[in-house]
Structure 1
Amino acid sequence: MANPSDPAICSPALPIPIDLFLSKQHPDYLTNSSGDIIYRINRHALKSSSVDKILLPHADAADPLISIFRVNKESWEGFKGDVGEENLLFKVQRTLNKLRRTEFKVFLVGGNLDDSNASFEMKGWPFQRSCTVYNGNTIVAQTSLMHKLRQIWVRRGRFRLTIFPSSVDPALIVALIVIFFDGRM
């Protein structure tokens, strides 16, 4: 049996994945396993486009961590803080939208936006709440359905977002997941 005071087990150098939970019943909140709200999503739908804001639980809508602006049916822009050209953080382009597969390329600002090499890629099937975020060949985050023992049909109303340890800001991953599911949570 391992000793709990062993530095190899309790070391902060051993990062662990973060699990957040999304629910169709409460699509505007991401919670931890205790039910505490970690991120809040503030949705504003306009006639021509929509703006979603990723907020901390007690933050005002005027102080978002990331704002997502839908440019057209196939592309989005993400801004640090509120929407403004000087705050542009990333651009997302849908590259495949088939019945059983959806794929996106994410371009972080600072890189060449016209370059075919994306900073991140998102692949999955929204109907099954399946999305994997890649940075090259490395999995950065992944969504999955909640499975229960002895349950034949798994309800799709609640699912898990696992953010694996990396240098990527979890709020950025949450913003990418909001784009991937775009109103289908």
Structure 2
Amino acid sequence: MEKFTTLTGVAAPMPQINIDTDMIIPKQFLKTIKRSGLGKNLFDEMRYLDDGSENPEFVLNKPAYREAKILVTGENFGCGSSREHAPWALLDFGIRCVLAPSFADIFFNNCFKNGILPIVLPQEQIDLLMDDAGRGANAIVSIDLENQTITGPDGGKISFEVDQFRKHCLLNGLDDIGLTMEKGAAIDDFEARTHAARPWL
């Protein structure tokens, strides 16, 4: 998993509430078990018209937000089914951080396991960042995970809370497999002792 230390990029505004995982990545794209290739179908039903062409009104289709790395959105983001493809699609598009007043629990957990930082902020701070994000290509926001700060386009700073274990995992690029491999020497030692004590196993 790629480390998350600092992130600076364009923030895209999506003020809708209750954006569910089927809106993030519709069910017809869940056949793959690969984490790559889903970015083109992120927000598919909002992003494309019935004829397959891009919807020019959708925020991520606008020139200023095509390279967005941060999403500022409404409450209860990621509700619905527990599909891990939702953070996969966000990550494949290039989104590394989502700012919202609240998240669905399973989606929130899946973000950390896939290298995305979901940040919960009070509505009034989301409103400020939503206003910043409305500046288009000038909506440059910086996220500093180590210091737990968000710096807006005008230099104003907002502090955020994050679970310290999850922070450690993101800073060091550790998913569940990476955490297990950190214990590799202890696992090897256990296996050697077990084999010596019970060679018939």
Point out the structure with the larger helix share. 2
Classify the TM-score, shorter chain.
under 0.3
Q: TM-score, normalised by structure 2?
A: 0.21
Greater Cα radius of gyration, structure 1 or 2: 2
Q: TM-score, normalised by structure 1?
A: 0.22
Task: Choose between structure 1 and 2 for higher RCO, CA contacts under 8 A separated by at least 6 residues.
Answer: 2
